[in-house]
Amino acid sequence: MIANSTGIFTAGQGVEDLFEQVFKSHFKSLHAYACTIMRDPMPAEEIVQNIFLKLWEKKGEIMIKENISVYLYRAVHNESLNYLRHRKVRSAYQSYAMRQHKQTEQEKPAEKVVMKELEKRLEIALQELPEQCRTIFQLSRFEDLKYREIADKLGLSVKTIENQMGKALKLLRLKLVDFLPTILLFITLFK
């Protein structure tokens, strides 16, 4: 299967070394990505592990026709959303346990930070971004990568990153516009 960072495929000897390299250089950021979607680090890790396992099973077959980072981020995105979808249909006990967990995860009793309405909305809106848009936003916002770095990582042009970031912020704004406090300010000023 394996692709190096520029998207060239190799097979046979050295594939396993390359695999290890790809695994180690991507695991942490993929895990962070899964965590931002799932808000639960342990299943998030399981999902990333499983994606690599699938990839491992396909060793020797050339199957990725694109940049390996793009493939991995997409896989994490899709699997994480699948996981969330399934979580919804689980039994009452499960959702109860999850709630318990969410409480302990997010609202540590010591800090008891109540998630603000805007933050909640933002999380939902982020979830609804198209996959590529979301991945790029993720890399820019949560991994603090520059446009250039994102472009290199995903094998895309800087122009595309610019467009996607513009699109991301525009979409987020459309979904959040009712919750942005500046709007109140605007109305009071001009009424």
Partner 1 sequence: MTENNNIDDLLVKVVLGESTAEELSFVRGWRAESPENERYFADFQRIWEESRNLAVHSTVDEVAAWGKFMERVGRGEVSRGTDEEWENRVEGDTNLERGVVAEIGGGRRGQWMLRVAAILIAVMAGGWFFYTYSYKPGQFLSVNSGLQVLSDTLPEGSVVTMNKESSIRYRRRFAGNIRQVEMEGEAFFAVAPDKNKAFVVQTNGVSITVLGTSFNVRAVKGKTEVIVETGLVEIKKGGHVVRVGAHEKAVIGMDDAKLVKEDNPDQLYNYYRTKTFECNGTPMWRLVEKLNEVYKAHITIGNPRLSALQLTTTFVDESLDGILDVVSKTFGITVVHNGQEIILK
11/53 with CB nearer partner 1: 53
13/190 with CB nearer partner 1: 190
CA–CA separation, 29 vs 50, rounded Å? 15
SS3 at position 145: coil
Q: Please, which residues bridge with residue 9 across strands?
A: 3
Closest CB 77 distance from partner 1, rounded Å: 13
Closest CB 155 distance from partner 1, rounded Å: 19
Closest CB 66 distance from partner 1, rounded Å: 19
- Taking the mean position of all CA atoms in its chain, how far away is CA 119? 17
SS3 at position 9: strand
Closest CB 120 distance from partner 1, rounded Å: 10
Query: Per the structure block, which two tokens stand in for 25?
Result: 């250089």
66/105 with CB nearer partner 1: 105
Q: Write down the H helix ranges in 11-91.
A: 15-38, 41-57, 68-89
4/21 with CB nearer partner 1: 21
